[in-house]
Structure 1
Amino acid sequence: MSLPKFLTSKTFVIQLAIAFGIIIVMVFALMKFLSVKTHHGEEIKVPDLSKMQIKIADERIKELGLELILLDTVDFKKDLPPFSVVEQDPKAGNTVKSGRKIYVKVNAGEFMDVTLPVMKNKTYRQISANIKSLGLVEGTITYKPHIAKDIVIQVLQNGKKLDAGDKVKKNSKLDFILGDGKEMFSESSFDEEQNTNEVNENND
């Protein structure tokens, strides 16, 4: 059979139709596979994880077909539960595809330790800003006879004396005993004042 006759024959037309049918089926199957693989059109609303314990948040996210990633632990916030979610990305209410990673930051379990600097024999004005920068709280101030006014004689926490290098929890309240500047001047007090001034000059 010649080529022109074969191309116009019934057999060729049938084979061509079968070939087109196979191609159409394969294209449809491929599109269906890609749709399932990429979760085409499937969107999940991100839940609000704030104040949720990290373990519970992880279980909740997995139930939705998402993945929880812990980015960091932030300084302890006393108004939030320990080890609870304080930040999340994407934010609650956003829609994402299945398998998307949800990044979170978690509240620490407690306040971190702070190392006390040298405060004794410095004026209260000198240490006040330092106390706040360390996240500590100024408590009760009492005065004791001393030649130098507002000089730090002692630092206490709940009645316990503290020294430079001691560790306390951030947000701890510190009490101070300061000099009242009313002690009578004497040779011994002159020597004490001189020593105090030398300490302050060295520390500055």
Structure 2
Amino acid sequence: MKKIFIHLALMIVAAIAIGWLAMLWLDSWTRHGDTISVPAVRSLAYDRAVDMLTAEGLKGIVADSVYDNRTQPGTVIEQNPKAGTIVKEGREVYLTINAFSPKMVTLPSLSDISLRQARSILEGLEIHNIVERRVPSDFKDLVLSVRYKGSRLHPGARVPVNATIELEVGQGMPEISLSDSTVESGADEEEAVEHLDLFD
């Protein structure tokens, strides 16, 4: 009977020891309690931002790039997670940087469609610098041609998104108001009456 109690006691001690060791291993594996506050790297040069993140035990990853001519190329514009966020060591911090050159886009056919359609297509391509030049045409607001820096563009042409695109748009037939037509009609009638009076 005494041996049974001894065996039970040894089993309980062994179970406690195994559980304690498992907790230590799990705590070490998950680095429980080992957290870092993400540093602010916005407005820093990309290399400097990565060095700062690495020094804190984090990884800087370029997730996207945009082009802003008001910002120094290679500068971090946005970060995720944001500065001050509490994360685990080794966490990846995604960076958006300012590109060294503007993104290029391919233009589709923009001729023989309405001005509204052409504007919508260009804005969908992130082109927002759009100017209109009215040219003689019977078709009002119809896009007749597309130009960039004075040169006519054809479908498939590639331009930077910050380009200023000029749309040549039909000005349409001149509108004749009802009052003008009435005056002209009245003048014609007066001339006809005067002409008849000459033969009376």
List runs of 5+ in structure 1 lacking aligned partners. Answer: 1-26, 184-204
State TM-score, norm by structure 2. 0.61
| Inter-CA distance 39–139: structure 2 relative to 1 (3 Å threshold) | closer
| Inter-CA distance 63–146: structure 2 relative to 1 (3 Å threshold) | same
| Inter-CA distance 43–148: structure 2 relative to 1 (3 Å threshold) | closer
Percent of aligned pairs with the same amino acid = 25
Tell me what 1:106 maps to: 96
- Contact 1:88–1:102 (8 Å) recurs in 2: no
Tell me what 1:149 maps to: 140
Tell me what 1:128 maps to: 119
State TM-score, norm by structure 1. 0.60
- Contact 1:54–1:106 (8 Å) recurs in 2: no
CA distance in 2, matches of 1:95, 1:141: 51
SS in 2 for 1:100: coil
Aligned to 1:61, which of 53, 56, 61? 53
Shift of 1:126: 2.5
- Contact 2:148–2:166 (8 Å) recurs in 1: yes
CA distance in 1, matches of 2:144, 2:150: 14
SS in 1 for 2:168: strand
Tell me what 2:41 maps to: 49
SS in 1 for 2:60: strand
Give me the CA root mean square deviation: 3.1
| Inter-CA distance 56–122: structure 2 relative to 1 (3 Å threshold) | same
CA distance in 1, matches of 2:29, 2:114: 69
Q: Deviations over 1:65-84 (max 9, x none)?
A: x1323151233344543333
Shift of 1:118: 0.6
| Inter-CA distance 123–96: structure 2 relative to 1 (3 Å threshold) | closer
The one-letter code of the counterpart of 1:136 is I
Q: Deviations over 1:150-199 (max 9, x none)?
A: 2212211122221111001113221111122239xxxxxxxxxxxxxxxx
SS in 2 for 1:56: helix
